[in-house]
Amino acid sequence: MKTKTEQRRSFFQNNAQLLVPLIALGLLIIFNLIRDPGFFSVELATNNDGNPVLQGNLISILNGASELVILAMGMTLVTAAAGGQDISVGCLAAVAGSAFVKVLKSGAAITPWLVLAGFLVCCVTAMIFGAFNGTLVSVFRIQPMIATLILFTCGRSIAYWINGGATPIVESPIIKAIGGFIPGVPIPTPILIVCVMGIFFALVFRFTTMGLFMQTVGINQNAARLNGISAVGMKLLAFVLLGLCCAVSGVIGVGRLQLINHETLLLNVEMDAILAVAIGGNSLGGGKFKMIGSVLGAYTIQALTITLYAMKVSSTDVKAYKAVVIILLVVLGSPVVKAWFGSVKNKLTARGVSAAAGKEAA
Amino acid sequence: MSMISGKKPAVGKKREPITDTILLMSITIGIFLAMYVVAMLAFGGGFLKPQQIFDMLNENAFLIIISCGLTVVMITGSIDISVGGVTALVAMVGVMTLNGSMFPGAELSDGMRIFIAALMAIGIGLAFGAVQGALIAFLEIQPFIVTLAGMFFARGMITIISVQPQKATGDIMAVLQRRLEIPWLGSPNKKGVMIPAKIEIGVIIALAVVAVIFVLLRWMKLGRGFYAVGGNQQSALMLGINVRRTRFMAHLISGLLAGIAGFVFMMHTGAGNATNATASEMNAIASSIIGGTLLTGGVGNVIGTFFGVLTLTTIKSIVVTSGLREPWWQSITTGAMLCFFILLQSVVLSSRGKGGLRARMKAWTGKKTG
């Protein structure tokens, strides 16, 4: 039987990687509260359509981060299983969004069934492209970053090609509801979609061995194979699931603007998604992972962006400040600095013990 | 690993004398030449003139330079995605120095301005390289994240310095954009007048960079260290190579080259803009890969990279010439070609790897039993 302190210690050891994103998020919250005590106040307002909606900085952080959070979830799996990152997620989301809009445009009117069909087509498209990436990585053993460089180069052009060089507008209350609010529900729909995805992954991890297997493949591929785990299959599965995540975030992106712009839809999101995984304390070299860390990382990035906007930093300058914060975070989380903190802590505790021993002797 | 020595092994009847580096590079050069010949036969016209190649070089001198930097970094087994941002930042600072908006009060001669712009280009490049290299090598932070932050910082700094696009014109740009003319490589224009081939100064800088990096990687201790560290970090450490210093130096070189590339970019365009050199880091990575550099480290060559840039550019000009004028074909064909090269490399290397492994196993068991 473990004692209570042992249990507590192992809980902290298991979740030590969440420390950095939690500290970062906490510092951001404290900083904002000092700057403006009402920063996180949420109010119930009525929007133009007469629906009750929640408003406030907290809601805009949660809402704005939705696509990033979903992509970070998928990216965590790919990172864990393949030991590399997919840099084509933004382009894949654009392709998926284009396929979605293409289906919507094919019907006379946008009915709920058509939207469902569009969503299914969009998911299948993105998962096929995901499987393409996955095949290159698993069967041909190409580095994930290089394999996905192909779609990074031509993904947005494929999206452009799907809609024949146009940026069609899809106006419909259903599409508006996906990116905005469902009538009568005050919480923005993207937040609800994130919850659904979160529950989906939580159930998968709870009731299947997928997470454990992906971890095993990431830590040692040969050992995994000798234990009867298909490394190829696991990597492929990770990429296909990331494709699904891309499709969902692409649909949210289309819903927000009610049009598809292949050039600007989720631009540069791949970099933020990888960053979220890293800030969440996951090794970019694969192996052990905690999806909740990546989710926290994604919310940290969005909170940082919203904070900078609130401080009247222009949207183009935000990058430079973001870079400084990122560097500070990764320096804090770097192995060398951690080791240094550990040695300082050991020294302090050793001194404390010896002092206590000295007292007893006296 | 045979590619570390780069020479024929002394007792190497069983081992192939051709290293992975040389093999991948030869494939690239072969495909480039084949593609160019096909383009000459199919489209004639522009492809028959030497000026076509010089135009490709003039346009992409900066890309050649940053690709060389990336090759060095990738051989070491690291990555640098800040190069495009640094190039754009240096171009912006350089243009503002040239047109006088950087130091509004100072009265400077043209020569002095060019000198200051060059100094700042090298300084900014070295600063980025040193900070990133130190974070990666000494604090052991993942290179992707560090250089991603570097890219964000550089891109953000551009708009902090100037939101408006900047332009340098007049005599000072005429000096910088002076072109070298080679009459005997010229070709007649439509009226039958001979037009000499024109090369920009940037191309000469780029070729010099390729030569210097080639010498560094082939014959110098530091360069061989890059291959050793990229091939196997543990073995390199045991050989007495200062792994941290080597990784730091790789990033320093990459930063310096990004600075030089920014200056060359500025010489070519004379414009500073926040969207300059967008996605050039990915183009540079693609060029290095096509040229036979592996992201896993230990394999690569700048000559291959040089041909990688030319291959990418040729694909683009073939697409334009062949009449596929829809804007999406260019990148779709580039992606398809990239896919082809990557698959080819994978297949070639894995087939070689299997053969090599079997041969080594045999030799080992034979020694033990006999």
* Integer Cα distance of A203 and A191 in angstroms: 18
Q: Do B328 and A160 count as a contact with CB atoms less than 8 A apart?
A: yes
Task: Read off the amino acid at residue B280.
Answer: S
**What was the pLDDT predicted at B354?**
56
Q: Do B295 and A327 count as a contact with CB atoms less than 8 A apart?
A: no
Name the residue facing B335 among A153, A284, A316 (closest C-beta): A153
Q: Is A222 on the interface with B (CB under 8 A)?
A: no
Q: Is A146 on the interface with B (CB under 8 A)?
A: yes
Q: Which residues of A touch B332 (CB under 8 A)?
A: 154, 157-158, 161
**What was the pLDDT predicted at B364?**
43
Q: Is B282 on the interface with A (CB under 8 A)?
A: yes
Q: Is B296 on the interface with A (CB under 8 A)?
A: yes
Cα of B293 vs its chain's centroid, Å: 11
Q: Do A146 and B274 count as a contact with CB atoms less than 8 A apart?
A: no
- Element (DSSP H or E) covering residue A250: helix A231-257
pLDDT band (50, 70, 90) for residue B3: very low
3-state SS of chain B is CHHHHCCCCCCCCCCCCCCHHHHHHHHHHHHHHHHHHHHHHHHCHHHHCHHHHHHHHHHHHHHHHHHHHHHHHHHCCCCCCCHHHHHHHHHHHHHHHHCCCCCCCCCCCHHHHHHHHHHHHHHHHHHHHHHHHHHHHCCCCCHHHHHHHHHHHHHHHHHHHCCCCEECCCHHHHHHCCEEEEEEEEEECCCCCEEEEEEEHHHHHHHHHHHHHHHHHHHCHHHHHHHHHHHCHHHHHHCCCCHHHHHHHHHHHHHHHHHHHHHHHHHHHCEECCCCCCCHHHHHHHHHHHCCCCCCCCCCCHHHHHHHHHHHHHHHHHHHHCCCCCHHHHHHHHHHHHHHHHHHHHHHHHHHHHHHHHHHHHHHHHHHHC
Closest chain A residue to B145 measured between Cα atoms? Answer: A275
**Which residue, among B78, B79, B142, B152, would best test binding to A if mutated, counting the most A CBs under 10 Å from its CB?**
B152
Q: Is B346 on the interface with A (CB under 8 A)?
A: yes
Name the residue facing A151 among B150, B163, B335 (closest C-beta): B335
Name the residue facing B327 among A143, A147, A160 (closest C-beta): A160
- Following DSSP, what letter does each residue of A325-360 receive, concatenated? HHHHHHHHHSHHHHHHHHHHHHHHHHHHHHHHHHHH
pLDDT band (50, 70, 90) for residue B358: very low
Q: Do A157 and B149 count as a contact with CB atoms less than 8 A apart?
A: no
**What was the pLDDT predicted at B14?**
52
Q: Which residues of A touch B162 (CB under 8 A)?
A: none
Q: Do A316 and B163 count as a contact with CB atoms less than 8 A apart?
A: yes
pLDDT band (50, 70, 90) for residue A123: very high
pLDDT band (50, 70, 90) for residue B367: very low
A237 pLDDT above the threshold of 60 = yes
Q: Do A140 and B343 count as a contact with CB atoms less than 8 A apart?
A: yes
CB B268 within 8 A of CB B61: yes
Q: Is B164 on the interface with A (CB under 8 A)?
A: no
Q: What is the mean pLDDT of residues A38-65?
A: 85
pLDDT band (50, 70, 90) for residue A198: very high
CB A247 within 8 A of CB A123: yes
Q: Is B350 on the interface with A (CB under 8 A)?
A: yes
Q: What are phi and psi of B220, to 5 degrees?
A: -100, 155
CB B85 within 8 A of CB B147: no
Q: Is residue B281 part of a domain?
A: yes
**What was the pLDDT predicted at B204?**
93
- Element (DSSP H or E) covering residue A242: helix A231-257
Q: Do A284 and B144 count as a contact with CB atoms less than 8 A apart?
A: yes
Angle at the Cα of A54 from the Cα atoms of A50 and A57, rounded to 5 degrees? 135
**Lowest-pLDDT range of A53-67, A102-116, B2-16:** B2-16
**Lowest-pLDDT range of A105-109, A127-131, B301-305:** A105-109
Is residue A30 classed as helix, strand or coil in its secondary structure?
helix
Q: What is the mean pLDDT of residues B248-256?
A: 97
CB A86 within 8 A of CB A270: yes
* Integer Cα distance of B69 and B253 in angstroms: 6
**Which residue, among B144, B315, B345, B352, would best test binding to A if mutated, counting the most A CBs under 10 Å from its CB?**
B144
Where do the domains of chain A lie, and which CATH numbers do they carry? 52-312 (1.10.3470)
Closest chain B residue to A145 measured between Cα atoms? Answer: B295
| Percentage of chain B lying above the pLDDT 70 cut | 90
Name the residue facing A143 among B148, B295, B339 (closest C-beta): B295
Which residues have a Cβ under 8 Å from the Cβ of B213 and sit 6 or more positions away? B68, B71, B72, B253, B257, B302
pLDDT in tens, B271-305: 888 888 888 888 899 899 888 888 888 888 899 99
The mean of the pLDDT values for chain B is 84
Is residue A99 classed as helix, strand or coil in its secondary structure?
helix
Q: Which residues of B touch A78 (CB under 8 A)?
A: none
Q: Is residue B2 part of a domain?
A: no
**Lowest-pLDDT range of A43-52, A83-92, B148-157:** A43-52
pLDDT in tens, A250-259: 999 999 988 8
Q: Do B286 and A149 count as a contact with CB atoms less than 8 A apart?
A: yes
pLDDT in tens, B229-241: 999 999 999 999 9
Q: Is B357 on the interface with A (CB under 8 A)?
A: no
For the record, the structure tokens of A315 come out as 């949207």
**Lowest-pLDDT range of A66-80, A83-97, A173-187:** A173-187
CB B80 within 8 A of CB B224: no
**What was the pLDDT predicted at A360?**
64
Highest mean pLDDT among A292-306, B286-300, B306-320: A292-306
Size of interface A-B (CB pairs under 8 A): 139
* Integer Cα distance of B39 and B311 in angstroms: 12
| A262 secondary structure, DSSP code | T
Closest chain A residue to B348 measured between Cα atoms? Answer: A140
Q: Is residue B167 part of a domain?
A: yes
For the domain that residue B79 is a member of, what is the CATH number?
1.10.3470
**What was the pLDDT predicted at A121?**
96
* Integer Cα distance of A193 and A195 in angstroms: 5
Closest chain A residue to B280 measured between Cα atoms? Answer: A153
A286 phi-psi bin (left φ>0, alpha ψ -120 to 50, beta other): left
* Integer Cα distance of A95 and A265 in angstroms: 10
Q: Is B29 on the interface with A (CB under 8 A)?
A: no
**What was the pLDDT predicted at A362?**
57
**Which residue, among B164, B273, B339, B340, would best test binding to A if mutated, counting the most A CBs under 10 Å from its CB?**
B339
Q: Do B156 and A320 count as a contact with CB atoms less than 8 A apart?
A: yes
In the stretch 272-311 of chain A, residues with CB closer than 8 A to chain B read: 274-275, 278, 284-285
* Integer Cα distance of B86 and A323 in angstroms: 14
- Which range marks the domain in which residue B192 is found? 10-357
A162 pLDDT above the threshold of 50 = yes
| A16 secondary structure, DSSP code | G
Q: Is A196 on the interface with B (CB under 8 A)?
A: no
Q: Do A153 and B331 count as a contact with CB atoms less than 8 A apart?
A: yes
**Lowest-pLDDT range of A88-97, A239-248, B52-61:** B52-61
**Exposed (0-12), middle (13-18) or buried (19+): which is A296, by Cβ within 10 Å?**
buried
Highest mean pLDDT among A326-340, B193-207, B225-239, B345-359: B225-239
CB atoms within 10 A of CB A267: 13
| A259 secondary structure, DSSP code | B
**What was the pLDDT predicted at A207?**
94
Q: What is the mean pLDDT of residues B306-323?
A: 87
**What was the pLDDT predicted at B180?**
81
**What was the pLDDT predicted at A11?**
72
**What was the pLDDT predicted at B264?**
95
Among B183, B189, B187, CA closest to B49: B187
For chain B, what is the domain count? Answer: 1
Q: Do B156 and A322 count as a contact with CB atoms less than 8 A apart?
A: yes
Q: Is residue B367 part of a domain?
A: no
Angle at the Cα of A327 from the Cα atoms of A324 and A330, rounded to 5 degrees? 150
Q: Which residues of A touch B140 (CB under 8 A)?
A: 334-336
Q: Is residue B24 part of a domain?
A: yes
Cα of A118 vs its chain's centroid, Å: 24
Q: Is B325 on the interface with A (CB under 8 A)?
A: no
Q: Is residue B363 part of a domain?
A: no
**What was the pLDDT predicted at A2?**
57
* Integer Cα distance of B83 and A193 in angstroms: 37
Q: Is residue B215 part of a domain?
A: yes
- Following DSSP, what letter does each residue of A114-138 receive, concatenated? HHHHHHHHHHHHHHHHHHHHHHHHH
Among A236, A37, A248, CA closest to A147: A236
Q: Is B18 on the interface with A (CB under 8 A)?
A: no
A135 pLDDT above the threshold of 90 = yes
Q: What is the mean pLDDT of residues A206-227?
A: 92
**What was the pLDDT predicted at B9?**
47
Rounded to 10°, the helix B327-369/B20-43 angle is: 150
| Percentage of chain A lying above the pLDDT 70 cut | 95
Q: Which residues of B touch A318 (CB under 8 A)?
A: 156
- Following DSSP, what letter does each residue of A48-73 receive, concatenated? TTS-EEEESHHHHHHHHTHHHHHHHH
Q: Is residue B67 part of a domain?
A: yes
Q: What are phi and psi of A259, to 5 degrees?
A: -155, 165
**What was the pLDDT predicted at B8?**
46
pLDDT band (50, 70, 90) for residue A336: confident
pLDDT in tens, B68-112: 999 999 999 999 999 999 999 999 999 999 888 888 777 778 888
The mean of the pLDDT values for chain A is 88
| Percentage of chain B lying above the pLDDT 90 cut | 42
